[in-house]
Chains A and B, each alone.
Chain A
Amino acid sequence: MTTIPTSSTAQVIPGQGAMAQPESAKPAKAKRRRFLFLRNAKAVIGLVILGLYVLFAIIGPWVTPYDPDARSNDLIQAPSADHWFGTTHLGQDVFSQVLDGTRSVVFVGFLAGTIATVLSVIIGITAGYLGGRTDDTLSALSNVFLVIPAIPLMIIITSILENASNLLIALVIGLTSWSWNARVLRAQTLSLRRRDYIEASRATGEKTWRIVGFELLPNLTAVIASGFIGTVIFAVLSLITLAFIGIVSNAGWNWGTILFWAQGQQALAQGAWWWFVPAGLAIAFLGTALSLINFAIDEFVSPRLRSMGKTKLKTASGGTVRMRIGFTPVLDNSAAPHTHAKPIPINTGGATPVIRETAGS
């Protein structure tokens, strides 16, 4: 709910599309580029953190030190060696709750992300590739879904469904959050469709599903991946929002449920900061990791966005200059030649030049 889609590939506005197009991805170079992607520090950090979350999602519920529901006599205890994140008003272990809740969060996030991505791929590519009436209808549909506020809609639907399971919540989130990606994919498909190699495939009578599957989709990978990650962030925040206002309290522990109980029990008034902070930080780090991956995808797609490595340069005279647009740095302002090509003296015979030592650049 708090996600403002910020990916540059998401900034494709019809009529302005050219501004954020990926610099034509050549299929042949895909392998090398994928390797390059992993050299991006943001991608590596993001993937490592995400990997940890997935690991905890899998093993979390088995390795919790306490049963997250189990009450004890340690009521509202600050963090200690026994209870790393302290305890709740019922003496439950907050650390166990956070660990146990990771699974629901990751499950709902990825499932909803997958549902929304599949929908957006189908709708976006169909609209962009087929064009005409189909495009008009599908575009109108995605624009409607885009403008209708998703969170209030989700809240109402979930509240009507009563005691929804995680599966159902993922479904609701997925079904209400595909529109942004569909829009981006439609714009990308439109521009790809006009490229020569797609035109050529169409002209030679290649089957539509083959063109889409083998020519279009590989070139949309980055956009689809970025959309998927964006939706996962959105889905995680949505789940936590729904849990925080208490309408999915029966779907087991997740970080939102922890915050719901903390808020309901006036944890703040009792100074129990440990009840709030771990769950919030867990959300923030997951979100940051996913955002980092998305930035890396963005930079990978449009290299202009990469932070420039070295921007301060040393000049020959010992000063420093900055790399910036409009004022190319001058490193050495002297007229001495750099590559010492030397003239050869005229050989009076004129036939064979005399070869002298020269230093190549």
Chain B
Amino acid sequence: MKYFLQRIAFYLFTAWAAITLNFFIPRLVPGDPVQSLIAKFRGQLSTEAINSLYVLFGLDDDKGLWAQYIDYWKQLFQGDLGLSFTFFPSPVSQIISDALPWTVLLVGITTVISFLIGTSLGVLAGWRRGSWTDGLLPVTTFFSSVPYFWLGIIAIYLLTGPDSFFPSSGGFDSALIPAWDQYFIPSALQHSLLPALTILISSVSGWILSMRNMMVTVSSEDYITVAHAKGLSERRVAVSYAARNALLPNISGFALSLGFIVGGTLLVEIVFSYPGLGFILLQALGAKDYPLMQGIFLVITISVLVANLVADLAYLLLDPRTRKDG
């Protein structure tokens, strides 16, 4: 329990650090970005919006930095992330909450599947060394060196087309209205297949490799020899003794790598014009939509923190040494 509380404290601290960083980012923008934005949106911005922009960029001179910081937190607690320029006058929180489910479902599910498949293959490769699985390594190395988005582009080129089952872009058939019905869900699934496959292929090799290495390391532990000496079946030794122990560091690795993976998957969304956070981030970048960028960064960071917490919980359940005192 103590371990768990420590982790929670750490994540709260990290969340605070990320939010504070987020507060300072717009203050780094050189010049007077608000003036240029007002010029860009000639007459479209209300006085209120302009004021909130000044607050955002820290350009309202009447207040000190500390007061600005307090205001920022107040806004945050009201779920107010400002207004987006790109999708003016929609609030940032609205846009993000529309896009977030797409990303969470695509990236979340795919990452978990990739971890499961990669870990299983890694167990095989580490246990049966010298068999065909060793030939898998050069292939996986190559695929893990390819950027996710490039693989996505190639997948679109090779697998999509007028007659193909795979749609080349979007999250669902544009003729449909998002709803939980028998038309929309299959369409959404169909659209998510290729991006999911792209993420899967690029990320799975990392898990194979790290699990293989952990299996090899664990295989020479004394308790594995004991398990063999006990006359246990090959399967029991491999799964319950070797893999079970090798999994622990891999789960920690999983938690720590989430930040890296999310970065890669955002790009896959861009390539497939998938209506998630990555695609929106691209639009925000094009329009210099700082409130939206900030909001996306914040939401991604918080999601990664939550995913880390879940991975920590899994670790807690799997390793008795952290569960009880001692």
Contact A4 B206 (CB under 8 A): yes
How many Å from the CB of A295 to the closest CB on chain B? 8
- Bound-state Cα–Cα, A237 to B10, Å: 29
Asked whether, in the complex, the Cβ of A326 is within 8 Å of the Cβ of B13, the reply is no
Measured CB to CB, the closest approach of chain B to A60, in angstroms, equals 20
Check if A311 sits within 8 Å of B154, measured CB to CB: no
A283 touches B146 (CB 8 A): yes
A302 within 8 A of B: yes
Is A140 touching B13 in the complex (CB atoms < 8 A)?
A: yes
Assembled-state Cα–Cα distance A22/B323 (Å):
28
| CB within 8 Å for A143 and B14 given contacts A1-B148, A233-B145 | yes
- Contact mask for chain A residues 148-169; partner B; CB cutoff 8 A; 1 contact, 0 none: 1111110111011010000000
Q: Which residues of A contact B29 (CB under 8 A)?
A: 160
Across the interface, B301 reaches (CB within 8 A) one of A148, A237, A287, namely A148
Residues B17 and A144 in contact, CB atoms below 8 Å apart? yes
Q: A148-B259, A149-B304 are in contact. Are A8 and B156 (CB under 8 A)?
A: no
Q: Is B259 within 8 A of A150, CB to CB?
A: yes
Complex Cα gap A164–B103 (Å)? 29
The yes or no answer to B63 lying at the interface (CB within 8 A) is: no
Q: Are A4 and B260 in contact (CB under 8 A)?
A: yes
- Whether the pair B207, A245 counts as a contact (CB closer than 8 A) is no
Q: Which residue of A lies closest to B232 (CB)?
A: A326
Interface presence of B123 (CB below 8 A): no
B170 located at the interface, meaning its Cβ lies under 8 Å from any Cβ of chain A in the complex: no
**Number of B interface residues in the complex (CB < 8 A):** 84
**Distance between Cα atoms of A20 and B215 in the complex (Å):** 11
Q: Is B270 an interface residue (CB 8 A)?
A: yes
B10 to chain A, nearest CB (A): 7
Chain B interface helix/strand/loop/mixed: helix
Q: Are A151 and B263 in contact (CB under 8 A)?
A: yes
* Min CB gap A293→B, angstroms: 11
Chain B residues closer than 8 Å to A290, beta-carbon distance: 145
Q: Which one of B145, B270, B281, B308 has the highest number of Cβ atoms from chain A below 10 Å of its Cβ?
A: B145
A288 pairs with B141, CB closer than 8 A: yes
Q: With the chains together, A152 CA to B219 CA distance in Å?
A: 38
Residue contact B130 to A308, C-beta cutoff 8 Å: yes
Does residue A146 face the partner (Cβ distance < 8 Å to B)?
yes
Taking the closest CB of chain A, its distance from the CB of B235, in whole angstroms, is 12
In the complex, the answer to whether B141 meets A146 with C-beta atoms within 8 Å is: no
Stretch binding the partner chain, chosen from B80-88, B89-97, B181-189, B290-298: B290-298
Chain B residue at smallest Cβ distance from A8: B213
Segment of A11-19, A50-58, A68-76, A83-91 in the binding face: A11-19
Chain A contacts for B74, CB-based, 8 A: none
Digit string of B187-209 for contact with A (CB within 8 Å is 1, else 0)?
00000000000000011001101
Query: Which size bracket describes the interface of A in this complex?
Result: 35 or more
CA distance A259 to B216 in the complex (A): 39
Contacts of A4 in B (CB 8 A): 144, 203, 206-207, 210, 253, 257, 260-261
Is B154 in contact with A146, judged by CB distance below 8 angstroms? no
B253:A5 contact, CB within 8 angstroms: yes
Residue among B216, B271, B304 making CB contact with A147, cutoff 8 Å: B304
For the complex formed, measure the closest distance between the CB of A12 and the CB atoms of chain B, giving whole angstroms: 8
Is B147 within 8 A of A273, CB to CB?
A: no
Whether B147 and A283, one on each chain, are in contact in the complex, defined by CB atoms closer than 8 angstroms, is yes
Question: Which residues of A13-72 have CB atoms within 8 Å of chain B's CB atoms?
Answer: 13, 15-16, 19-20
A326 to B10, CA, bound (A): 42
| Interface-central residue, A302, A323, A326, by most chain B CB under 10 Å | A326
A152–B217 CB distance below 8 A? no
CB of A151 within 8 A of CB of B147, answer no
Give the 5 A-B residue pairs with the shortest CB-CB distance, closest first. Answer: A151-B263, A287-B145, A4-B206, A311-B130, A326-B228
B residues at A contact (CB < 8 Å): 10-11, 13-14, 17-18, 21, 25-26, 28-30, 128-131, 134, 141-142, 144-150, 153-154, 156-157, 202-203, 206-207, 209-210, 213-214, 216-220, 224-225, 227-228, 234, 237, 248-250, 252-253, 256-264, 266-267, 270-271, 281-282, 285-286, 288, 290, 293-294, 296-297, 300-301, 304-305, 308, 321-322
**Supplied contacts A8-B213, A152-B281, 14 more A-B pairs, CB within 8 Å:** A4-B257, A5-B257, A6-B213, A144-B13, A149-B304, A153-B21, A155-B293, A156-B297, A157-B28, A241-B147, A276-B150, A276-B153, A295-B141, A308-B130
Question: What are 8 pairs between A and B in contact, CB < 8 Å?
Answer: A4-B257, A11-B213, A144-B17, A146-B259, A151-B263, A241-B263, A241-B267, A292-B141
